[in-house]
Amino acid sequence: MNRCPYCGQENIENKIFCTWCGKEISEPPKAGEASISELRRPAIERSSEPEMEGPRGIGILIRLMAVVAIFLSFVFLITTYIPTLSMKALIDWNLMASLVIITFMATLALTGLILFNDDWRLNAMNTATKAILAFLLIIFLSTICVFASLEVGYMNSGYTYHEPILIEGNEDFTAANGVIDGNGTASDPYIIEGWNIDCYQDTGIAIYNTNAHFVILNVHVHSGELFNLGMILYEVSNGTVENCRISNNRWGVQLEDTSNILFRHNDFIGNLVSAYDIDSIGSSWDNGYPSGGNYWSDYTGEDRFSGTDQNIPGEDGIGDEPYRINYFDSKDDYPLMKKYTKSAAPPSWLLWGIVAVIAVAVITSVFRSTGPKLR
């Protein structure tokens, strides 16, 4: 075998350039002859040199410590910069799970590279190993930074965490229950606005037995999963729910024995059942045409027509067929084809910019010193 004088690795085939570090070794030695660099080395040095085949004790210890550091860093960054409550409100579970899985798989791949690479020194790696390392580092760092950017965007979007709200009569419309303004009259309704409510432990907003006028505005109720509801209104009248995001709950909204309730410009996303409406009088799920109703993630209709009767050729951002709330007469006559609420996420160009900067930094760092140059 031909041993490289620079990185010390053995090349199975006689080559002018080292397979590991890419540097020029020498002319290929003739059969039965040692390489020039090998002959120049003292015999005692060659005889006492440890074999490179298996992992060395100190080397494997350093690698194991690096593995632990990578995993601890991963856990720390995820738990510190990505609070679960707001992320579940911001993006759906499928996207969040995908980002976590991608980051985790990159972590595992980095672990394997550290454990099974013969030499972890950058200047001892060949081009292919460096490329793999750079690719994994880009994925690992990019997904974590994208998570952090999403979280920062959400934190700066004006939504504030609030415990689930329970109102059991007009007297419960208080500041403790999220009311920020109003006195309950038609001209000055109670305003519940700007809250991020996790429904995992209980229904997000539950209102019972009221007739005061109220508006629920710009609120996120989410993560009830298979157990809890986003909102429930029971024996309630004179309410408006608008510009809210209702996502990932067992039922998004339940209305029962209500009157004069209006839902408009809300996003119903990923709920097991988007809405349930029974025995309601004078309630509406849309704001007429062209203002429209709500966005429903399980709506399957198309948008090929426009107009009040949706019979004029041409798209208008409103579904051509109504969205049926349940088996009764409740429906959204003008379902929106796109989400209405503004996303708290940073713009996509910023996220791609973060990935690009990380990619350039990693590639430059990995290939900057010794070893083969990118061609």
The reply to whether 131 and 188 lie within a common domain is no
Indicate whether 337 belongs to any domain. Answer: no
The verdict on residue 342 lying in a domain is: no
Which pLDDT score is estimated for 328? 64
Q: Considering the domain boundaries, does residue 123 fall inside one?
A: yes
- Do residues 182 and 190 lie in contact, with contact meaning Cβ atoms separated by under 8 Å? yes
Residue 116: inside a domain, yes or no?
A: yes
pLDDT at 203: 96
Helices (H), the chain: 36-40, 43-48, 57-81, 84-90, 93-116, 127-155, 348-367
Domain presence at residue 146: yes
Within a domain: residue 355?
yes
Shared domain check, 294 and 209: yes
* Total count of domains within the chain: 3
Residues 267 and 170 in one domain: yes
Of 30, 53, 76, the residue that ends a domain is 53
Expressed in percent and rounded to 5, the helix, strand and coil fractions of the chain are 35, 25, 45
Whether residue 141 is found in the same domain as residue 111: yes
Confidence (pLDDT) at 369: 55
* Residues 305, 181 within the same domain: yes
* Backbone region of residue 314 per phi and psi (left: phi > 0; alpha: psi in -120 to 50; beta: other values): left
CB 21 within 8 A of CB 9: yes
Under a CB-based contact definition with an 8 Å cutoff, are residues 271 and 230 in contact? yes
Q: Tell whether 141 and 259 lie within a shared domain.
A: no
- Spatial CA neighbour of 53 closest among 6, 8, 110: 8
Output the pLDDT for position 343. 63
Rounded alpha-carbon distances, angstroms, from residue 343 to 92, 148, 267: 12, 15, 11
Instruction: Tell which residue, 263, 289, 287, has the closest CA to residue 276.
Output: 263
Token pair of 123, please?
A: 């200047």
* Whether residue 71 sits in one domain with residue 24: no
106 and 217 in a single domain? The answer is no
Question: For strand 179-181 and strand 190-193, is the pairing parallel, antiparallel, or unpaired?
Answer: antiparallel
Predicted pLDDT of residue 105 = 74
**Model confidence over 54-72: pLDDT tens digits?**
444 566 566 667 666 766 6
Q: For residue 55, what pLDDT is reported?
A: 46
d(CA 35, CA 143): 47
For residue 344, is it within any domain?
no
Residues 12 and 144 in one domain: no
Q: Are residues 194 and 302 in the same domain?
A: yes
Q: Measure the CA–CA gap between 120 and 128, rounded to whole angstroms.
A: 14
Q: What is the pLDDT of residue 54?
A: 44
Residues paired with 179 in a beta bridge: 192
Domain extent, residue 31, equals 1-53
Residue 64 lies in a domain: yes
Longest dimension (CA), the chain: 101
Quick one: 87 and 112 in the same domain?
yes
Q: Are residues 79 and 177 in the same domain?
A: no
Residue-level pLDDT at 47? 42
Extract the residue ranges of the chain whose pLDDT is less than 50.
Answer: 31-32, 35-37, 39-56, 85-86, 371-375
pLDDT number for residue 375 = 45
